[in-house]
Amino acid sequence: MTTGSASPAPSSFLELRDLRIHFPTEDGLVKSVDGLSFKLDRGKTLGIVGESGSGKSVTSLGILGLHKGGRAKISGEIWLDGEELVGASPDHVRTLRGKKMAMIFQDPLSSMHPFYTVGAQIVEAYRIHHDVSKAVARKHAIDMLGRVGIPQPDKRVDSYPHEFSGGMRQRAMIAMALSCDPELLIADEPTTALDVTVQAQILDLMLDLQREFNSALIVITHDLGVVAELSDDILVMYGGKCIEYGSADDIFYRPEHPYTWGLLGSMPRLDREPTERLLPIKGTPPSLINVPSGCAFNPRCPYRDRTGGKATTEVPQLLETEGGHLVRCHMPREERRAIWENEIKPMMEGQ
Given the rule CB under 8 A, which residues bind another protein? 51-52, 151, 165-168, 195-201, 203-204, 222-229, 231, 248-249, 252, 262-271, 274, 277-282, 284-285
- The one-letter amino acid at 224: L
Contact residues for 55 (Cβ-Cβ < 8 A; gap 6+): 21, 32, 33, 34, 36, 237, 239, 240, 241, 288
Residue among 33 and 205 whose Cβ is closer to another protein: 205
Residue among 79 and 303 whose Cβ is closer to another protein: 303
Q: What minimum distance in Å lies between the beta carbon of 201 and another protein?
A: 7
SS3 262: helix
Report d(CA 47, CA 348) in Å as an integer.
22
Q: What minimum distance in Å lies between the beta carbon of 136 and another protein?
A: 30
Name the residue among 191, 347, 326, 192 with its Cα closest to residue 280. Answer: 347
> Which helix (H) or strand (E) is 178 found in, with range?
helix 166-178
Q: What minimum distance in Å lies between the beta carbon of 3 and another protein?
A: 35
Q: What minimum distance in Å lies between the beta carbon of 252 and another protein?
A: 6
Name the residue among 186, 271, 190, 261 with its Cα closest to residue 223. Answer: 190
Residue among 76 and 108 whose Cβ is closer to another protein: 108
Residue among 102 and 224 whose Cβ is closer to another protein: 224
Find the largest Cα–Cα distance for the chain: 68
Name the residue among 19, 9, 56, 28 with its Cα closest to residue 239. Answer: 56
Instruction: Report the length, in residues, of the chain.
Output: 351
CB 46 within 8 A of CB 234: yes
Residue among 72 and 281 whose Cβ is closer to another protein: 281
Report d(CA 321, CA 230) in Å as an integer.
24
CB 80 within 8 A of CB 184: yes
Residue among 136 and 248 whose Cβ is closer to another protein: 248
Report d(CA 147, CA 288) in Å as an integer.
41
Residue among 140 and 304 whose Cβ is closer to another protein: 304
Residue among 229 and 244 whose Cβ is closer to another protein: 229
Name the residue among 109, 16, 4 with its Cα closest to residue 60. Answer: 16
Residue among 51 and 335 whose Cβ is closer to another protein: 51
> Which helix (H) or strand (E) is 242 found in, with range?
strand 241-247
Q: What minimum distance in Å lies between the beta carbon of 274 and another protein?
A: 6
> Which helix (H) or strand (E) is 228 found in, with range?
helix 224-230
